[in-house]
Amino acid sequence: MRKDKRKYQTARFDFYSKQTIAIIIVFLLFIILNGCPGSRVTKEYTGEFLANDSGVSHGGFEWGSHYSASLVIRGTKGDLILTHEIGLGDYLRKHEFSVSEFAEVSGNISFKVEGRAASLVLIEEDSIWNRQYDGYFTGNKTSDLSERIGYLPIEPFIGFNSRFYIDLRLLPQQPEPDLFGLIAGLQ
């Protein structure tokens, strides 16, 4: 009788341990295939980055360039990527920049780009460019105080002279829903 009882207990243990292992494997596959909630892209912005050597947004420059811009944020960190699109050459020596301390508060976004503070202001209705930049976050570095919007440091953009005009315009993108986002939305 004792031998039968041990076989029963061993068989029961094997059954439960196999079930536990199967549950753990399914859970791990779920996490791997869907990503951890903390590792998902939480915010994405696309837009443009403009630069010229005159120090202001308009006229009098000998050099100017247009870059497409992409800012991808995970939590409070991310990357700003600039891709040269058109212009009189590319002075930038680096095109990917580290972003930290990202925050969105009261219609503004602030962050550090390569350790330097930046702030972009939400332009709800763009009266200057015939509403082309409605809904964009904008920041620049200009020597004309009347056209200053937000703040964008020149120092991270190695290759640009300190007198250059720079302008970053970013539009928030709708993130693709993931399983964790859908679950959170149901609650």
pTM: predicted TM-score of the whole model, two decimal places? 0.73
Q: 102 vs 72, 74, 120, 141, 169, CA distance in Å?
A: 11, 9, 11, 19, 16
Q: Does 16 have pLDDT greater than 70?
A: no
pLDDT at 24: 79
- The pLDDT tens digits of the residues spanning 76-128 come to 999 999 999 999 899 999 999 999 999 998 889 999 999 999 999 999 987 77
- Give me the pLDDT at residue 61, please: 83
pLDDT (0 to 100) of residue 68: 98
pLDDT score recorded for residue 42: 84
Q: What is the average pLDDT across 33-41?
A: 54
